[in-house]
Structure 1
Amino acid sequence: MAEAEVNYASVVFKSNKQPPPEAKKAEETVYDEVKKKSESTEQTADTNAGVLPDKKANSRRRHYQLLACCLGILCVILLLGLIAACYFLATLSRDITELNQLNENNTTLLAANRNLTNLNGKLSVDNDNLRRERSNLTVQLGNLTQNYTVLESKITNLTTQNQELREHNENLTTQNQQLKTEKNILTEQIQTVETNCIELNISRAQWSIDAYCPKTNNVRQCNACQEGWLLNSPSCYVIHDAPPPEQITWEQARANCRGNNADLVVAQNQQEKNVLSGYSWPTPGNIGYWIGLRVEGGRWKWIDGSDLNEPSWIAEPTEGQCAVSVHNQGWKSVMCEEDKRWICTQKALTV
């Protein structure tokens, strides 16, 4: 190795954090200056190689130069370390401040999170309640819809019924008017009938007097029965011994008797039955005479509404059957629509 060669020691400091760009740039600048001075020293030594200075003076000078270089590098390194320490402390302080701020923010966020959690739980409960209420309201809405449909149908029916009632009311009003008119007509007819009845009663009274008390040589002589009627106290009888062309049904025979203020003959006991049998004159074919007995409701009934006391006097009742009295044969059951002779009776006049 040449005498002028200088050995340099490098010292490297490491920290947990990289130095800032400014410190790194300053370190590189110092390193370049030291390197230039070393190269300049080597060139000077090479130039003066042929000259033999004093070895001690050169050695002392080299030691001084090396010491000065080391001190410069050490100052630079200390300066860089100080700058790095300041930067690290500033960064650490800022990080601690940020950490404290983050802790405060985290505490605030935790509190806000707890509040939000509580609020979320409350909102979940409210949401469940609202869902249940919605479900209930949906059911109520369905029921109301059904009720509305039913009511709408009823309203439609009532509207139709109302229209029908209006039409019926109009018809009733028309009928009422017609009935009033008919009432007036009937009132007039009733008055006419009453007048006619009065006249008829007078005529009947006169007829009764003439019938029961005929004049003979302008002298009236009253009898218990009308002329032509047979007396068998307490009743009078008339036998309509009509020929076949003039024979009539049971209803017609009764109407004929009523027209003479009488009715078909009734026999409630054996004595009356014997009297009736005596008046049942023999006729060709013995077809018999209508009496006031017919079947009603499955039973034999007299025209006065009483039941036949002796069922053995005639056959079993059959609907549509009436009774006839036949000479020497008793009573027979025949159809009421057949044509027969008939016997009428009325109370005898008592004077």
Structure 2
Amino acid sequence: MAEGEDEVYENYAWGVFKAANNPPPAAKRGEETVYDSAGHRRFQHLACCLGILCVILLGGIIGLCVYIANLTRDNKNLADQFGNLKQAYNVSESNNTNLSAEVQELKTQKKNLNQKIQNMTTNWNELSISGAQWSIDSYCLAYDDDKCQPCQSGWVEFQSGCYQSNDPYSWKTWEEAREDCQGQNSDLAVARDSEEKEAIYENSFQYYGYWIGLRVEDGRWKWVDGSDLIESSWIDLPTAVEGHCALSVQGGDTWLVSVNCDETQPWICQKKALSLSV
């Protein structure tokens, strides 16, 4: 390099060095300061906005979580209610099925009862016809004449009643004797007055004693028609003994004797005489 060129280069380098060492003017420094302060504020504003957004986002997330939790709980409650309703429905359906079966069973029972009633009505009608025919045969056709009689053949008429004493060698207890009378549409004889007493007495052959419709009930002598024995002199023992019944006898001081109802004796039946129009 030439000597002149070296001098120019040194002068330029020195100027650059001085420029580098010398601070910028005050105006330029103020602009830089203003620029740095504004940027810092903008950064703060941005950071603040970001923080607010984060808080809002966090609140939204928390709210969403709470909402989801409530929704899940409500869904569980609804599911439980649905399960309970379904169970109640199943129980109701089961009860309805049972009720339907019971109703069907009641209908069947009603049908069976109606059938039984119909059968009983038919049987009753047949028995009524048969009974009427039997009455005609026994009260009318059993005699040689053409007239119907108040009492059947083999029965003794007295006032408004018919009496029959059984075979004196066929003995039964009081209850068995009464069943036999009832089987003949009658009952054991009852003496409501002295005339009926005489009719019973006349049918009490010899001294065997015949069951009549008188026994002790609740400490009192009662006839089978429900009336009380009024004439206490008719019985040999005024004191009524439970389980005792009365026998009608001939040839003693009294015509009624108190004995145990389980003993076996003959008996006298009585029924109402047939009313005949002239």
Tell me the TM-score normalised to structure 1 length.
0.45
Deviations 1:19-39 (A, max 9, x none): xxxxxxxxxxxxxxxxxxxxx
Equivalent in 150, 161, 173 of residue 235 of structure 1: 161
Say whether the 8 Å CA contact 2:154–2:164 is kept in structure 1: yes
CA distance in 1, matches of 2:251, 2:107: 59
One-letter amino acid of the counterpart of residue 193, structure 1: M
Task: Name the structure 1 match of 2:247.
Answer: 324
Task: Name the structure 2 match of 1:70.
Answer: none
CA drift of 1:185 comes to: 3.5
Structure 1 residues 338 and 215 mapped into 2: Cα distance closer, same or farther (>3 Å)? closer
Q: Does 1:190 align with 2:117?
A: yes
RMSD: 2.7
Task: Name the structure 2 match of 1:311.
Answer: 232
CA distance in 2, matches of 1:321, 1:250: 9
Say whether the 8 Å CA contact 1:215–1:221 is kept in structure 2: no
Equivalent in 175, 179, 191 of residue 251 of structure 1: 175
Task: Name the structure 2 match of 1:212.
Answer: 139
Task: Name the structure 2 match of 1:266.
Answer: 190
SS in 2 for 1:204: helix
SS in 2 for 1:213: helix
Task: Name the structure 2 match of 1:108.
Answer: none
Structure 1 residues 225 and 313 mapped into 2: Cα distance closer, same or farther (>3 Å)? same
Say whether the 8 Å CA contact 1:262–1:345 is kept in structure 2: yes
Tell me which structure has the larger Cα radius of gyration: 1
Tell me the TM-score normalised to structure 2 length.
0.56
CA distance in 1, matches of 2:151, 2:256: 26
Task: Name the structure 2 match of 1:341.
Answer: 266
CA distance in 2, matches of 1:193, 1:277: 41
Equivalent in 99, 103, 127 of residue 200 of structure 1: 127
SS in 2 for 1:238: strand
CA drift of 1:235 comes to: 1.2
CA distance in 2, matches of 1:215, 1:268: 30
1:1-351 equivalence runs, <5 A:
184-214=111-141, 220-243=146-169, 246-282=170-206, 286-314=207-235, 315=237, 316-329=239-252, 330-351=255-276
SS in 1 for 2:221: strand
One-letter amino acid of the counterpart of residue 281, structure 1: F
Which stretches in structure 2 are left out of the alignment for 5+ residues? Answer: 1-99
Q: Percent identity?
A: 49
Deviation beyond 4 Å, 4+ runs, structure 1: 173-184
Deviations 1:250-299 (A, max 9, x none): 122112112211111010222221221111001xxx33111011111110
Deviations 1:226-250 (A, max 9, x none): 011111122111111242xx32121
CA drift of 1:177 comes to: 7.9
SS in 2 for 1:328: coil
**Bigger relative contact order, structure 1 or 2, given CA contacts below 8 A and separation 6+?**
2
Structure 1 residues 296 and 235 mapped into 2: Cα distance closer, same or farther (>3 Å)? same
Which stretches in structure 1 are left out of the alignment for 5+ residues? Answer: 1-172
Deviations 1:120-160 (A, max 9, x none): xxxxxxxxxxxxxxxxxxxxxxxxxxxxxxxxxxxxxxxxx
Say whether the 8 Å CA contact 2:143–2:153 is kept in structure 1: no
Structure 1 residues 215 and 287 mapped into 2: Cα distance closer, same or farther (>3 Å)? closer
Deviations 1:8-63 (A, max 9, x none): xxxxxxxxxxxxxxxxxxxxxxxxxxxxxxxxxxxxxxxxxxxxxxxxxxxxxxxx
